[in-house]
Structure 1
Amino acid sequence: MDITTHCARITGPVSYLNGGGCTLNIPIGPCLVERLGDQSIDIVWGPQGQSSVALPIAEIQAAQDHGHLVLLD
């Protein structure tokens, strides 16, 4: 599997469902964006990269279109 990683920044609300079914937002700040194939993208954040979530490509594209996710490289 080919994995492509980019440095990025969350600048607005990008939501996801946690394990308990609650909707949370990825915190504003730096993150890594890793494409994991054709259907999903993994967002990694936190001081040691301890938090992550896989989101559908359509949701990532919508976040970029609204300026809530900015690729830095």
Structure 2
Amino acid sequence: MTMPNLDQTEGIWIGRASDQGFHFVQDVFPGDTQREQWHRANCQILIARGQLWSCTCWLRNTSLFISTSLSGCT
């Protein structure tokens, strides 16, 4: 199995979150599989790059609460 790249993670995020409101990373990538864990790690990189926005870093079981808009928090 290969690790998903950032573009794949971003595309899946958009598809699963439907660009509606805010979601926890763990809700968008809920599985315990290695692939889902890689997607969650990729979300951290996307947040650091400013491609996925962290909104005040709300925490739920150490997972970030982030905007699905990919353009910032409103």
**TM-score normalized by the length of structure 1:** 0.31
The answer to which structure has the higher strand fraction is: 1
**TM-score normalized by the length of structure 2:** 0.30
